Chain A
Amino acid sequence: DAKTTQPPSMDCAEGRAANLPCNHSTISGNEYVYWYRQIHSQGPQYIIHGLKNNETNEMASLIITEDRKSSTLILPHATLRDTAVYYCIVRGGLGYSTLTFGKGTMLLVSP
């Protein structure tokens, strides 16, 4: 699976949009971009995933660049409960592959 690079930490004011970047320059054609988050002392929570088109769900939006070498997770209106470590993971196509977690980005949402 391709390796990802994320900033170690980011700050965001409550109510503002949080934009979390991820670089995955070695991504291959059949690999998906997944985002998970982990609130302190809990198991990871799935947020969103995409292949090449932008995706949106009730939690977030995922913007993938045209060359697929980077992506941005957008939390449109961050709340205090969004404080967590966010993991960007590149994973092989459908079939079978494990999730390899990097160090992620610690997002701190402040009042």
Chain B
Amino acid sequence: GAVVSQHPSRVICKSGTSVKIECRSLDFQATTMFWYRQFPKKSLMLMATSNEGSKATYEQGVEKDKFLINHASLTLSTLTVTSAHPEDSSFYICSARGQRDEAFFGQGTRLTVV
């Protein structure tokens, strides 16, 4: 099946700094990618939908200025957590939409803000 690569898999950053997470579709072009967040023992929550070449669509309650999403090419979307705080510590997961509307997920990024 199609592969979505997410990098880094783990990151620890200091409070107040910014962290960028990359999501790449390795063997297909994805015009649409999705970013999810998952707290411990909770389900995935959709944060935003990223469309190549246009602004991301954010879910209600997600701060667009804090979670910057860029989808500059058909194979890469990035999520930047700006001015990170400990409450931003979470598991972030991206997915890419395939040509037949399938959803392929990345491995996830464990963010810890200290």
Contacts and interface: CB of A to CB of B under 8 A. Distances in A.
Contact count band on A: 10 to 19
Interface stretch (A11-19, A20-28, A75-83, A97-105): A97-105
B85 interface: no
Interface string A68-101: 0000000000000000000100000011111111
Nearest to B101: A94
A45 interface: yes
B101 A95 contact: yes
A50 interface: no
B43 A102 contact: yes
B93 A41 contact: no
Interface of A: 38, 41-46, 87, 94-104
8 pairs of A and B residues whose beta carbons are closest in the complex: A43-B105, A101-B44, A101-B43, A43-B108, A44-B105, A43-B93, A43-B106, A43-B107
